[in-house]
Amino acid sequence: MILLSLAAGLVFGIGLIVSAMVDPAKVLGFLDIAGDWDPSLALVMGGAILVTAPAFALARRMGAPLLAPRFEWPTRRDIDARLIGGAALFGIGWGLVGLCPGPALAALGFVPGEVLVFVAAMLAGMGLFHLVGTPRAKAPETGRALAGEASVDA
């Protein structure tokens, strides 16, 4: 299982490198729609959708994943202030720096000095949220934290 996880991570990281998602200048060029816009990352995202959509359709028809006892599908569909705030914070960070978490970790191997500050700030923010973040509601039927949320049971 560990080797399969490592292989999946390596394929993901190589994809980020090949698509130039680890280059903040490339990402910022994609986000600069009013200036010198670089649409090439739209092709990367479109390619990802072309692969992911059929894979999700197939996964929905499967009884269980190949390497786990069950799928962990999100159950919440509501939009709340935490979702909007988190999405806005993510978008602002992406727009200012040109990196998101996955590409930032992959970029550490190429330009560690430039990316290290971002990764340190990202980890500090995650730690701060873990310490002071308010827990979300629990699913009424199980008492477990809803999919995608960390459990905060005492």
The domain limits of the chain are: 2-132
pLDDT reading at 53 higher than 90? yes
pLDDT reading at 51 higher than 90? yes
Terminal CA-to-CA distance of the chain, rounded, Å?
30
136 within 8 A of 149, measured Cβ to Cβ: yes
Which pLDDT value is given to residue 67?
81
Q: What is the pLDDT of residues 78-126, one digit of tens each?
A: 999 888 988 998 889 888 888 888 899 888 888 788 789 989 988 998 8
Instruction: Name the token pair of 137.
Output: 């509601």
**Structure confidence at residue 151 as a pLDDT band (50, 70, 90):** very low
Rounded to an integer, what distance in angstroms lies between the CA atom of residue 6 and that of residue 17?
Answer: 16
Task: Compute the average pLDDT of residues 61-72.
Answer: 88
Angle at 26 between CA 34 and CA 19, to 5 degrees: 130
Which pLDDT value is given to residue 114?
78
